[in-house]
Chains A and B, each alone.
Chain A
């Protein structure tokens, strides 16, 4: 399946960015991505986007799919300019960095733990757009089998610290859980949902510990 191949290619190209489990992985924001990409150039090869086929991405919103396609094409053009037996020049690195950064910002291997999680996550996020409270900072997705062998999706909800205060936390978690579970039903996603919560402070502390 092309989507899986593309996913593996991008993750392999970016694996130096992600040393740990999805929920504990540092967030890949634009600054972090650029900083890490400038540190090593193993990603600057057409192999980093091998397997891409636009028709595999019908689960993305039109705008995002078009942007991904454009970035992949630009990256391939840039990467093909680098001779296999010579280091890349600064200009070649710059030409490849922007489109590959764009690919990573869409594919977000820190946020979607596997291919199925990417598909489910993107669809859920489109479905719940505008419904989640403003104190929900981020969602992360991972699929697998639960302890009883049934297909499952874990959805990690990062909330602002203030939303986790004792008087309101129980009500807030129920509200978000109901929205997410409703979206999964509406989308016909059969994976059993496990919705978990972390505060922004907790995520920051975990990422700092993992970076050390």
Chain B
């Protein structure tokens, strides 16, 4: 099984780990695993899309930056893309499945940050479960849209969004 699928599976296991009184450690790690599941799915898809050589793919996957992926995802989640992408998108709106993947990425990244660093409040099982479900749904949405031209554009944007921001 791939790393991203293993992480998603781990997230599911952790969120249900203590049936009666879930520990904060389990719930927070479940949220973190859910984010990294989606993160690794997307960089796996991106590097496979750009490189056939396995060694090159592994090298490429180290080049992704979480904050840059966040910015690209917020743009795709908004539904319409900057004008510079019109030659690829034809001006069409981002398809709903792809928007949902991008939204899920943003949501899960923020949740991971809180799970790892915000001790000022607690996580509940329902909250963690909803986030793991979000990752699950994002996997399904990605499967439905992965061959679309805008999905491929999204993968490129995840890698080089900041550089394209500078293009007029």
Chain A residues at the B interface, C-beta cutoff of 8 Å: 20-21, 23-24, 146-148, 150, 152, 159, 164, 169-170, 173-174, 192, 194, 196-199, 202, 206
Contacts and interface: CB of A to CB of B under 8 A. Distances in A.
Contact of B110 (A147, A164, A169, A173): A147
Given A169-B130, A194-B107, A196-B130, A147 B113 contact: yes
12 contacts: A147-B110, A152-B110, A164-B126, A169-B126, A169-B129, A170-B133, A173-B133, A194-B111, A198-B127, A202-B125, A202-B126, A206-B124
- Chain B interface SS verdict (over half): helix
B103 to A, nearest CB: 8
B33 interface: no
A200 to B, nearest CB: 10
Kindly name the residue among A24, A197, A206 whose own CB sees the greatest number of chain B CB atoms within 10 A. A197
Instruction: Specify the main secondary structure of chain A where it touches its partner.
Output: mixed
B121 interface: yes
Interface residues of B, number: 24
B53 to A, nearest CB: 33
B105 to A, nearest CB: 12
A24 to B, nearest CB: 5
A178 B119 CA distance: 28
A20 B122 CA distance: 11
A64 B136 CA distance: 41
A169 B71 CA distance: 29
B137 interface: yes
A18 to B, nearest CB: 13
Given A169-B129, A198-B127, A150 B120 contact: no
